[in-house]
Structure 1
Amino acid sequence: MDKASKEKLFQLQEIEELRREAYDNSRMYKEKYKAIHDSSILRRSFKLGDKVLKFKARFKFGDRKLKERWNGPYIITKVLGYGAFELKDEKNGTTHLANGHLLKLFYGKPAKT
């Protein structure tokens, strides 16, 4: 009986070591994958006075492939916390808030319509 209980205890310890090793391997894999993922993310930085375009985030039925997906240009008037910006429309002077991941820098002159 004593030998069987020692064997069972040894098996439980072995299972616990395998579990810990699997946990460590999973953690290392997640850290590596996160580093690879984070390296591919573009870090955008905007400052006051920059001209930006804003992505049209709303889906509308019937949008075509070649339809413009960006609005603007807008001027950044205020930098808020957590990646938010206050934008001023150049055409009519209205202001609104936008998240930074929906913006990209504007280069060039607006198209005349």
Structure 2
Amino acid sequence: MDKGGEERLFHLQEIEEMRREAYNNSWMYKEKCKAIHDSGILRKSFKLGDKVLKFKARFKFGDRKLKERWDEPYIITKVLGYGAFELKDEKDNTTYLANGQLLKLFYGKLAEM
């Protein structure tokens, strides 16, 4: 191999090393971003007998901006798979299925409207 061929091969090896380094740097950046993002996510854990509020996920035209968006307190009666819960209404003893993402713990009294 002549001198030009060796030089070209050396440059190709340098380019391959820079590519690997860039790939590793981007992978580390993505992992750090994911860790920062995941640290900001609040994990919700509910158990049987907890009182929860259910988010009103329905849209009504003309809803007021400051209108309450959470339904009455419900009691968790059954924990189903994949983050689903069975809820019981305290007033009329009806049961509902709800996604855990639409729930939050109930700590006190609701304001009467």
Fold conserved (TM > 0.5)?
A: yes
Residue 75 of structure 1 aligns to a residue in which SS?
strand
TM-score for both structures, normalised by structure 1: 0.87
Identity %: 82
Cα distance in structure 2, aligned partners of 1:105 and 1:96: 16
Task: Report the equivalent of 1:2.
Answer: 2
| Aligned-residue RMSD, C-alpha | 1.7
C-alpha offsets along residues 15-43 of structure 1, whole Å, 9 cap, x if unaligned?
A: 11111111111111111111111111111
TM-score for both structures, normalised by structure 2: 0.87
Superposition map of 1:60-75 within 5 A: 60-75=60-75
Q: Give the drift of 1:110.
A: 4.3
C-alpha offsets along residues 68-100 of structure 1, whole Å, 9 cap, x if unaligned?
A: 111121110111122211111222222222111
Cα distance in structure 1, aligned partners of 2:12 and 2:62: 62
Instruction: In structure 1, list runs of 5 or more residues that go unmatched.
Output: none
Task: Report the equivalent of 1:13.
Answer: 13
